[in-house]
Structure 1
């Protein structure tokens, strides 16, 4: 029998299926009774689940990254689908198909990487092109960069998500840069490539998506600057030419400032044209992806609106159910 994925579940469904544990918390209700709050995941998405009357021994029997066989029933709670569990069993990883559980980019990763190479290796600045080549000839780096997500729960939170995010930004920049001749094209493209490069080691993504110890303690901005410095030294070794100090400084600044505001984790505000452009392009792609996902994945099919999204501070308008937003104005 074929499995049922998260995106096939709806209110009132009985569930008897295997899932990956993305997160687990043992909590107590108002009466002091313990229950388990679990985030279950497969390649199509994740769903929250609760098991009432849990025990500490049961909570210790599995961890994020393990696989569970669960039974229960779905319900809509505060606008979101969740599973009320009646039974769970820990599964041996050898009994499941790993590709069923980690979400992956819907785009062809090989084609995305080919497009990345096409845009970056066409740059005319010899120092930036040599720097990029040092990244692209590093097989270990390429393997990580093409499989890493761009986040754990927010935008592009799936394998290949980082590559997809970066290539989208490169494509947007490639289309609009003729409108902004004052921006250094090669510098912006390189900054786009490098802005989230630290995420390849900030995150773990072989099973459940999580932060590594270094990711928790240091973060991808600092880790990205360290990786850049390492590759610049390698570039100098391979080319025999010094790397321009100001060019390196501008690249470092783009990495550490691309979040755009102190409250969003930027230690510095964008202070160059290329850094400003990177921040707004990055924010645009992240927001469009996040808003689109909330609309697309909303389980309430009969409503014109999503539930209130705490992280976004608003509800989102989906349109009248059954009517496409096709721009038909014939009645006006």
Structure 2
């Protein structure tokens, strides 16, 4: 398995037809049936450079490699070793194929490995934020310190560094896929959204100028529900509540409980609650209400902007940039329904 082993990021850069081997932790595994009733699997694996979705077809080989000797799993569809792989490290050999104009990754061999061995420990393959957590924490503290009045006091109450909310908030992902789907992803995304929203708020003049403390609190709290919607096990995953209730409703409910515990005024509670409920900006994107205050408008705009900028970065990460389409135009990004352009070759 160690021969020409590649990271997920390196695999994504390979051309169609190229073979590879890799190791990663299983985020998702689902057995399905083809038109002939034969089992195949969809797999998502992650390492510290990212995640990829792959297919394991019925003619692929599964190996129990836990003792360092290959022992073939003859009937993977009935094997508990295969059905319980979520959260475990595996080794794979595969090939880059093409399906509907997009790269598809097919694993021809899957190796089940000893999770206790240092080189295979699942937690060591989980992707983390590209920014040092201590830097993120400093930026978070600076934003909170700039808030005055009861809203500032409420943030310091809510994000008490010894409390469970902060301990969760600091490490949780912001998604399972699409954007910031890694350890510290929620912290990174929330800070960036808040910094963008605060910049917009400072640029607005006249009667529509937003209250800056409310903008900061709304930005930091807008995805509060993701503490209940997602888990790390050891990679990002969804809870039942996150799947059937969604983070917006979960966050609003959690915020209300904590606002009542603190004794937040009705006006402040309503203004912040409105931001949590409206931050997706459109009802078709999941917001129960539309942004109706200057503060809610800048937070929802910043949230959408950070999401799209992340998608741009992720989509063009393997491109050189420049004038040639093959060097500068990304594959279709399904989350944003567009191809992205990396027009500056020196852009990272």
**Is the CA contact 1:134–1:231 (under 8 Å) kept in the aligned structure 2?**
no
Deviation string 1:192-241 (CA, Å, 9 cap, x unpaired) is: 111001101210123132111221232211221222223223323xxxxx
Q: Secondary structure at the match of 2:317?
A: helix
The CA distance in 1 between the partners of 2:110 and 2:165, in whole Å, is 38
**Is the CA contact 2:174–2:189 (under 8 Å) kept in the aligned structure 1?**
yes
The CA distance in 1 between the partners of 2:282 and 2:182, in whole Å, is 26
Q: Relative to 1, partners in 2 of residues 1:315 and 1:122: Cα closer, same or farther, differing over 3 Å? A: closer
- Counterpart residue number, 2:9: 7
**Is the CA contact 2:42–2:56 (under 8 Å) kept in the aligned structure 1?**
yes
Deviation string 1:57-106 (CA, Å, 9 cap, x unpaired) is: 14853332222222233344445444332322323322223443211111
Q: Relative to 1, partners in 2 of residues 1:36 and 1:132: Cα closer, same or farther, differing over 3 Å? A: same
Deviation string 1:95-138 (CA, Å, 9 cap, x unpaired) is: 2234432111110111211211122122122x111110112214
**Is the CA contact 1:254–1:278 (under 8 Å) kept in the aligned structure 2?**
yes
The CA distance in 1 between the partners of 2:24 and 2:202, in whole Å, is 48
- Counterpart residue number, 1:106: 130
Q: Secondary structure at the match of 1:154?
A: coil
Structure 2: give runs of 5+ residues left out of the alignment.
Answer: 60-75
Q: Secondary structure at the match of 1:41?
A: strand
- Counterpart residue number, 2:22: 17
**Is the CA contact 1:222–1:256 (under 8 Å) kept in the aligned structure 2?**
yes
Of the three residues 252, 258, 279, the one matched with 1:225 is: 252
- Counterpart residue number, 1:52: 57
The CA distance in 1 between the partners of 2:151 and 2:204, in whole Å, is 20
Is the counterpart of residue 261 in structure 1 residue 282 in structure 2?
A: yes
Q: Secondary structure at the match of 1:306?
A: coil
- Counterpart residue number, 2:301: 280
Moved more, 56-65 or 211-220: 56-65
The aligned runs of 1:24-39 (5 Å cut-off) are 24-39=29-44
Q: Secondary structure at the match of 1:84?
A: strand
Q: Alignment length, in residue pairs?
A: 316
- Counterpart residue number, 2:234: 207
The alignment's C-alpha RMSD in Å is: 2.6
The aligned runs of 1:186-197 (5 Å cut-off) are 186-197=213-224
Structure 1: give runs of 5+ residues left out of the alignment.
Answer: 237-242, 327-332
Q: Relative to 1, partners in 2 of residues 1:298 and 1:207: Cα closer, same or farther, differing over 3 Å? A: farther
Structure 1 residue ranges (4+ consecutive) displaced by more than 6 angstroms after TM superposition:
298-301
**Is the CA contact 1:62–1:90 (under 8 Å) kept in the aligned structure 2?**
no
